Amino acid sequence: MIHEIFIFTPDGRCLKSWEFNSRHLQSGHEQSEMMRCAFMSAIFNFGLHVHNQELNTVKFGCQAYYFLKNEKIITSICCDVEDSNIEIIKKMLLKISFTFLQKYRGILENWNGNIQVFNGYKLPESININILERNSLKNYDKYFENVKKYKEELINYISVTNLPDTSKKRILQLIENMNLICNKVYQDYVLEKELEEM
């Protein structure tokens, strides 16, 4: 699950933030926001200067912060490590930073430091903070279990028929190929469904 989302400048000034508590969106405390953004900016810049590359992930215990730098802003998402899906998080970071810059790029060019000008920004409606929860895959897991069950039943059926051994081997090979394809299709299907919900 997503816990926090931040948009801040490379020098650590918080432009906008969200805290998610009990599935409800609420504003963060301004002082806490500023401290966190300054800290995240310091970590981000440390990675840039020491390793000569932008930092994209930092883990603290069971939570992880993901970063995306886009022009004059850095967008960060904090979520549970166990629920992390990198592809979905990247897509969310891109969508948030793109829509924010689309609205405020002109203001950022000559920004005077007043963060109140960003109060009108809302997260895109397609952003679903619960999308990373494992329970959201429950239905897909059931589907995959059924496919596995039918595959096992087919293998059992082949083993008791009077088919030549070469035919059985060929069918078993086809089943194995089908299983590999099914696994790939399942993974793609899950990712596609999750991305559609965004």
pLDDT the model gives residue 184: 60
Residues 2-132, CATH architecture: 2-Layer Sandwich (3.30)
Tell me how crowded residue 87 is: count the other CB atoms within 10 A of its CB. Answer: 10
- Residue range 163-190: mean pLDDT, rounded: 66
**Distances, alpha carbon 91 to alpha carbons 57, 86, 106, 110, 159, in Å:** 15, 9, 24, 28, 46
Predicted model pTM: 0.62
Residue 114 has pLDDT above 70, yes or no: yes
Domain ranges of the chain: 2-132, 136-197
Question: pLDDT, tens digit, for every residue of 51-80?
Answer: 666 668 888 778 888 999 988 899 999 888
Q: What gap in Å lies between CA 25 and CA 17, rounded to an integer?
A: 10
Residue 6 has pLDDT above 80, yes or no: yes
Q: What gap in Å lies between CA 74 and CA 42, rounded to an integer?
A: 12
What mean pLDDT, rounded, does the chain reach? 75
Question: pLDDT, tens digit, for every residue of 10-51?
Answer: 888 999 999 876 444 444 455 577 788 888 888 887 777 666
Longest dimension (CA), the chain: 82
Question: pLDDT, tens digit, for every residue of 115-159?
Answer: 999 999 998 877 766 655 544 444 455 556 665 666 676 677 667
